[in-house]
Structure 1
């Protein structure tokens, strides 16, 4: 009888750990419920997209109103003014970009009213800072409103100040480093800058996944391993950051109701935040913006 009783006690944990996650739920919002605790919520963000998107949903304001803490990746990902906090690359800009990428980014920088990439480099602004500045400018140009400069991460972060809530920065203490073969975070950002500039040059939307992202049309690939598509750079900025964040999220979710905003890429794959939390016994559920809190 005792073994059966023990098995019954373990059933909720077994049910949690064996839940099957939907990889295409049609949303960027997820509810995370620790066993025996109240639910927290995670928004998978697009760092280039305006906070005006989630501001339009009543559910966002309901979640923010009941939250007891706000969690973001890091200040440098939330507000352009903090981008200087990221470590600068020692490599000259011309070594970070390929020829076409340098030309496109230089042209876009000039369109922004800056004399060119050489002047940006002389100013000491790291390429990560340039990315945040350029992304903010694109959002501003798209919306035509100064408040459009706050991306989704920044908009969520603003809720902490607005509602007098504690703000947790997941990257606090994390060391960004060059990968094993020398493919650095700065080089990765330079590639993304080139892609943004190419889209802008061709007249396309400046955020590569704008339309699909707005519709929540994201394949989270929760049953697949990211290691099959990982670059050397991913070891640090994906696997290691997710693993670094997990204990902090555990502590926060166990103590209070939280609103979390991290890039949706960190929610993808078996090594992502959603799958890791599910394996640890958290109930992980997609939430549609049309729902209402009970």
Structure 2
């Protein structure tokens, strides 16, 4: 198993997006009825817009910043505006700090069960024949034996094989907004902390049954162009500070093209978002509230901000007053 982990990590580092990005912003291609449906959904979503919010309660102020984990030149201007707030903070909270992340990846074998399927059926037994054939071809393209691939956790295969051609792939540092915020805080000597560990973040990706994870993997592998559309839509929605609209269209993409029938797709999507967003948000909220300091900066992926179980609404439920701030 250790040799398998070493082999797949080497394969991951070798992965590069070779094809040309085919993605478009799906919001630009909605008809009138779809636009109206989107507006209705967004009306029901708390804090659907805004990448920078300020939560206040008594003498305490918390700046909540929605981040993008990969590089984009537009982040240069964002950092010019955010840097003074970061330097003045009593503490900065990130999903996982750089040192903690690097420590995990130095010895991933200590958490080998997060990466490999030790017992029970392999992926060839739980995937459809079409899905397994597609996975086998994708694995061979990066030099990974399908017999090894079938014992790798689906979340990891998705990162290795199915990410968009419009963005970077894998775990390499990408100079996203999180990393930029961390760099400014480190230079200013501002204390930093993590809201979770790498292991707990990965566990959220693999919380569902192996069969459900395999269905999601099949969806990820099915259409590089579809993945491109989702990536471009989320990216452009982010820079327009309308992350909620990107998230709704991502959901629509899955419900239209995901595995199984409509009810199965609804179930899979509900469970997936509960695992990777809602449950993590609920775990983070007490850590945010319990961190000492009168001025905090909290930087988490922008998808964690909107919604009833989003970080912003969770803080509002505890008595914080929220106002949108420049981004």
Q: TM-score, normalised by structure 1?
A: 0.62
Distance 1:60 1:94, change over 3 A: farther
For residues 144-159 of structure 1, the aligned pairs below 5 Å read 149-159=174-184
Give the match for residue 8 of structure 1: none
Distance 2:325 2:161 in 1: 31
For residues 93-242 of structure 1, the aligned pairs below 5 Å read 99=130, 103=134, 107=138, 110=141, 114-116=142-144, 118=146, 121=149, 127-128=155-156, 131=159, 139=167, 149-172=174-197, 174=200, 176=203, 179=207, 187=214, 190=217, 193-194=220-221, 197-199=224-226, 206-219=231-244, 231-242=270-281
Question: Deviations for 1:188-247, whole angstroms, at most 9, x for unmatched residues?
Answer: 8736753783346xx7584441212211123389xxxxxx98623444433322221111
Distance 2:178 2:133 in 1: 27
CA shift at 1:108, angstroms?
9.4
Distance 1:132 1:68, change over 3 A: farther
CA shift at 1:278, angstroms?
0.7
Q: Is the aligned partner of 1:65 residue 2:80?
A: no
Q: Is the aligned partner of 1:31 residue 2:54?
A: yes
Distance 2:222 2:92 in 1: 31
Structure 1 runs not aligned, ≥5 long? 1-20, 142-146, 222-227, 290-294
CA shift at 1:151, angstroms?
2.8
Give the match for residue 39 of structure 2: none
Q: Is the aligned partner of 1:56 residue 2:92?
A: no
Distance 1:24 1:126, change over 3 A: closer
CA shift at 1:266, angstroms?
2.0
Distance 1:244 1:74 in 2: 14
Distance 1:205 1:267, change over 3 A: closer
Query: Would the aligned equivalents of 1:44 and 1:265 in 2 still touch at CA under 8 Å?
Result: yes
Q: TM-score, normalised by structure 2?
A: 0.57
Distance 1:120 1:155 in 2: 36
Q: RMSD of aligned C-alpha atoms?
A: 4.6
CA shift at 1:158, angstroms?
3.3
Distance 2:164 2:188 in 1: 24
Distance 2:136 2:230 in 1: 16
